[in-house]
């Protein structure tokens, strides 16, 4: 299976500090990855590199068959959907939800004098419907709740039918119901035949949607572990990543983590028999 992207010995340095430190990572077609790590681990920086928004200080980056540094990034970026608070901050608060999604067709935030054809308009309506936000189409982006905003941002990221979808903390700030709604939608997306390759950044194992296949664990700009969820998302690896003893449970394909009680084995602590 061809790689969707491949990072080889990638480092990003700023002010003498390594934000990413010798990261090598290959993601194949059909894979759904979650990137986990504590605050400041370098997760957003990593997503910026994969999104062709940031060039590494060292190493090589191949994305969708192109090599960063040898390709027009503006063209490459149209093949990548990217949601993050940075994207949300660029959308004018007075922009309608419909236009916030539609304007992704021209890779702009804030509709101006661009021309949109019937196909663009139909695609925007379709994607608003698929993400359950059609009723909000006429509202202004600035009036949305956090949960509504997250769904609109994903709809916007999917507007151009990207081959790669990057989600930076899509569950942050959501209440329990909104988080579960979002996870159900991401599970459906991950199972769809025409789904893009998915990479989601999170702080919490509880936010890993069913259907995700792989995990990359980061700390201090370095990869702690990477591989299939079943074998890589372990209490021991989480313990190293977050710097504490962790107990990890799995039930119904979902995960839950907490600090392990002192003196107990970290990964033996639940009743379902579905231990991770
Ligand atoms: N331009 C910069 N110059 C120096 N340090 C930077 C710069 N940009 C980011 N950093 C630092 O790099 C580290 C990694 O940042 P990054 O945002 O990638 O982490 P993160 O894992 O996404 O964090 P969080 O979970 O808190 O969002 C942080 O310590 C941050 O302060």
Per-residue pLDDT of 57-109, as tens digits, reads: 999 999 999 999 999 998 899 899 999 888 889 999 999 999 999 988 877 77
116 lies in some domain: no
**Residue 231 dihedral angles phi and psi, to the nearest 5°:** -100, -20
Q: What tens digit of pLDDT does each residue of 215-229 get?
A: 999 999 999 999 999
270 lies in some domain: yes
264 lies in some domain: yes
2: left (phi over 0), alpha (psi -120 to 50) or beta: beta
pLDDT of residue 263: 57
Q: What is the number of domains present in the chain?
A: 1
184 lies in some domain: no
- Rounded to whole angstroms, how far apart are CA atoms 208 and 250? 11
CA distances from 269 to 96, 178, 235, 252 (A): 48, 28, 11, 16
Q: What tens digit of pLDDT does each residue of 243-270 get?
A: 999 999 999 999 999 999 865 554 444 4
Ligand 1, CB cutoff 6 Å, lining residues: 14-15, 17, 19, 37, 39-45
115 lies in some domain: no
Average pLDDT over residues 29-42: 96
Exposed (0-12), middle (13-18) or buried (19+): which is 178, by Cβ within 10 Å? middle
53 lies in some domain: no
Which residues does 84 contact at the CB level (< 8 Å), separation at least 6?
44, 47, 166, 168, 169
246 lies in some domain: yes
Give the helix, strand, coil percentages of the chain, each rounded to 5: 35, 30, 40
155 falls in which pLDDT band (50, 70, 90)? very high
89-80-179 Cα angle (round to 5): 60
254 is in which domain, residue-wise?
234-276
257 lies in some domain: yes
Q: Which of 14, 15, 18, 19 to mutate to test the pocket of ligand 1 (most atoms within 8 A of CB)?
A: 19
């Amino acid at each position: 299976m061809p790689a969707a992207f491949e990072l080889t010995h990638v480092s990003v340095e700023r002010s003498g500090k390594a934000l990413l430190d010798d990261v090598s990572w290959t993601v194949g077609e059909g894979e759904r990855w979650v990137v986990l790590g504590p605050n400041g681990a370098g997760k957003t920086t990593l997503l910026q590199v994969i999104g062709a928004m940031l060039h590494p200080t060292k190493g090589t980056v191949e994305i969708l068959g192109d090599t960063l540094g040898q390709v027009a990034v503006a063209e490459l970026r149209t093949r990548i959907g990217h949601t993050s608070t940075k994207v949300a901050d660029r959308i004018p608060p007075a922009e309608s939800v419909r236009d916030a999604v539609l304007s992704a067709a021209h890779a702009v935030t804030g509709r101006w004098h661009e021309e949109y054809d019937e196909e663009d308009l139909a695609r925007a309506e379709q994607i608003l419907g698929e993400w359950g936000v059609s009723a909000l189409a006429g509202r202004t982006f600035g009036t949305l709740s956090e949960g509504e905003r997250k769904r609109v941002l994903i709809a916007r990221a999917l507007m151009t039918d990207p081959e790669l979808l990057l989600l930076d903390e899509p569950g942050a700030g959501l209440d329990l119901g909104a988080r579960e709604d979002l996870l159900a939608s991401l599970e459906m997306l991950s199972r769809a035949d025409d789904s893009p390759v998915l990479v989601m950044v999170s702080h919490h194992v509880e936010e890993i949607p069913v259907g995700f296949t792989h995990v990359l664990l980061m700390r201090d700009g370095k990869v702690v572990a990477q591989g299939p969820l079943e074998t890589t998302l372990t209490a021991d690896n989480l313990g190293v990543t977050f710097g504490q003893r962790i107990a990890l449970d799995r039930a119904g394909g979902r995960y839950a983590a907490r600090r392990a009680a002192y003196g107990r084995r970290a990964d033996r602590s639940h009743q379902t028999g579905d231990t991770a």
